[in-house]
Protein backbone atom coordinates (compact mmCIF):
# COMPACT_ATOMS: atom_id res chain seq x y z
CA UNK A 1 0.00 0.00 0.00
CA UNK A 2 1.27 3.44 -0.90
CA UNK A 3 2.04 5.68 2.06
CA UNK A 4 1.04 9.32 2.29
CA UNK A 5 3.34 11.52 4.33
CA UNK A 6 1.28 13.99 6.29
CA UNK A 7 3.06 17.30 6.85
CA UNK A 8 3.18 19.54 9.93
CA UNK A 9 1.56 22.32 7.89
CA UNK A 10 -1.39 20.05 7.08
CA UNK A 11 -1.66 19.10 10.74
CA UNK A 12 -1.83 22.76 11.78
CA UNK A 13 -4.60 23.45 9.24
CA UNK A 14 -6.56 20.37 10.29
CA UNK A 15 -6.25 21.15 14.00
CA UNK A 16 -7.61 24.64 13.32
CA UNK A 17 -10.47 23.09 11.34
CA UNK A 18 -11.24 20.62 14.14
CA UNK A 19 -11.09 23.32 16.81
CA UNK A 20 -13.64 25.34 14.82
CA UNK A 21 -15.94 22.31 14.41
CA UNK A 22 -15.77 21.68 18.16
CA UNK A 23 -16.19 25.34 19.06
CA UNK A 24 -19.20 25.67 16.73
CA UNK A 25 -21.11 23.07 18.77
CA UNK A 26 -21.14 25.52 21.69
CA UNK A 27 -20.80 22.55 24.04
CA UNK A 28 -18.70 23.41 27.09
CA UNK A 29 -16.19 20.57 26.87
CA UNK A 30 -14.30 20.22 30.14
CA UNK A 31 -11.26 18.17 29.15
CA UNK A 32 -9.39 16.18 26.53
CA UNK A 33 -8.34 12.54 26.89
CA UNK A 34 -5.55 11.55 24.47
CA UNK A 35 -5.28 8.03 23.15
CA UNK A 36 -1.59 7.12 23.36
CA UNK A 37 0.41 7.24 21.18
CA UNK A 38 -1.17 8.72 18.09
CA UNK A 39 -3.53 11.04 19.92
CA UNK A 40 -0.89 12.74 22.07
CA UNK A 41 0.28 15.43 19.63
CA UNK A 42 -3.20 16.30 18.32
CA UNK A 43 -4.49 16.44 21.92
CA UNK A 44 -1.87 18.98 22.95
CA UNK A 45 -2.63 21.10 19.89
CA UNK A 46 -6.39 21.03 20.56
CA UNK A 47 -5.81 21.74 24.24
CA UNK A 48 -4.00 24.95 23.31
CA UNK A 49 -6.47 25.98 20.60
CA UNK A 50 -9.56 25.36 22.75
CA UNK A 51 -8.01 26.22 26.13
CA UNK A 52 -9.20 22.89 27.56
CA UNK A 53 -7.01 20.80 29.89
CA UNK A 54 -5.76 17.32 29.12
CA UNK A 55 -6.54 14.50 31.56
CA UNK A 56 -4.67 11.23 31.63
CA UNK A 57 -6.88 9.26 33.98
CA UNK A 58 -9.96 7.52 32.54
CA UNK A 59 -11.95 8.34 35.68
CA UNK A 60 -12.27 11.93 34.39
CA UNK A 61 -13.92 10.92 31.10
CA UNK A 62 -17.49 12.19 30.81
CA UNK A 63 -19.90 13.35 28.14
CA UNK A 64 -17.95 16.64 28.22
CA UNK A 65 -14.63 14.98 27.32
CA UNK A 66 -13.04 14.97 23.88
CA UNK A 67 -11.38 11.60 23.15
CA UNK A 68 -8.55 12.29 20.67
CA UNK A 69 -6.67 9.92 18.37
CA UNK A 70 -4.96 10.49 15.04
CA UNK A 71 -7.07 8.06 13.02
CA UNK A 72 -10.16 5.87 13.23
CA UNK A 73 -9.20 3.10 10.82
CA UNK A 74 -11.02 0.01 12.12
CA UNK A 75 -12.47 1.42 15.31
CA UNK A 76 -11.00 -1.33 17.51
CA UNK A 77 -8.84 1.04 19.56
CA UNK A 78 -11.73 3.37 20.34
CA UNK A 79 -14.61 0.89 20.26
CA UNK A 80 -15.25 1.09 24.03
CA UNK A 81 -15.11 4.92 23.88
CA UNK A 82 -17.24 5.51 20.78
CA UNK A 83 -20.22 6.65 22.85
CA UNK A 84 -18.17 9.71 23.81
CA UNK A 85 -17.01 12.64 21.67
CA UNK A 86 -14.31 11.03 19.54
CA UNK A 87 -12.05 13.40 17.61
CA UNK A 88 -9.56 12.30 14.97
CA UNK A 89 -7.62 13.78 12.10
CA UNK A 90 -8.40 10.99 9.65
CA UNK A 91 -11.43 8.74 9.43
CA UNK A 92 -11.44 5.67 7.18
CA UNK A 93 -15.16 5.12 6.55
CA UNK A 94 -14.65 2.00 4.40
CA UNK A 95 -12.96 0.10 7.24
CA UNK A 96 -14.09 1.82 10.45
CA UNK A 97 -16.84 0.34 12.58
CA UNK A 98 -18.15 3.78 13.60
CA UNK A 99 -18.03 7.45 12.61
CA UNK A 100 -16.22 9.79 14.99
CA UNK A 101 -18.08 12.87 16.20
CA UNK A 102 -15.37 15.16 14.77
CA UNK A 103 -12.82 14.50 12.03
CA UNK A 104 -10.84 16.63 9.61
CA UNK A 105 -10.52 14.28 6.63
CA UNK A 106 -11.89 11.05 5.17
CA UNK A 107 -9.28 8.79 3.63
CA UNK A 108 -8.46 5.26 2.60
CA UNK A 109 -4.71 5.88 2.47
CA UNK A 110 -1.99 4.74 4.85
CA UNK A 111 -0.97 7.96 6.61
CA UNK A 112 2.50 8.51 8.06
CA UNK A 113 2.28 11.30 10.62
CA UNK A 114 5.16 13.75 11.09
CA UNK A 115 5.84 12.61 14.66
CA UNK A 116 6.28 8.98 13.59
CA UNK A 117 9.65 7.47 12.84
CA UNK A 118 10.19 6.94 9.14
The model's pLDDT over 47-95, given as tens digits with 9 standing for 90+, comes to 999 999 999 999 999 999 999 999 998 888 888 888 999 999 999 999 9
Angle CA 40–13–7, to nearest 5: 70
Element (H, E) at 20: helix 8-24
What does pTM read for this prediction?
Answer: 0.92
Measured CA to CA, the distance from residue 112 to residue 63 in angstroms comes to 30
pLDDT at residue 2 is higher than 80: no
Domain 3-112, CATH among 3.40.50.2020, 3.40.50.1820, 3.20.20.300, 3.40.50.1110: 3.40.50.2020
> How many whole angstroms separate alpha carbon 117 and alpha carbon 95?
24
Domain boundaries, the chain: 3-112
User: How far apart (Å, rounded) are the C-alpha atoms in residues 30 and 16?
Assistant: 19
Amino acid sequence: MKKRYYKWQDLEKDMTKLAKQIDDTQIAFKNIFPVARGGLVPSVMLSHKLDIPIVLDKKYISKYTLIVDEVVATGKTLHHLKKFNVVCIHWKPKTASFEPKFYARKTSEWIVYPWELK
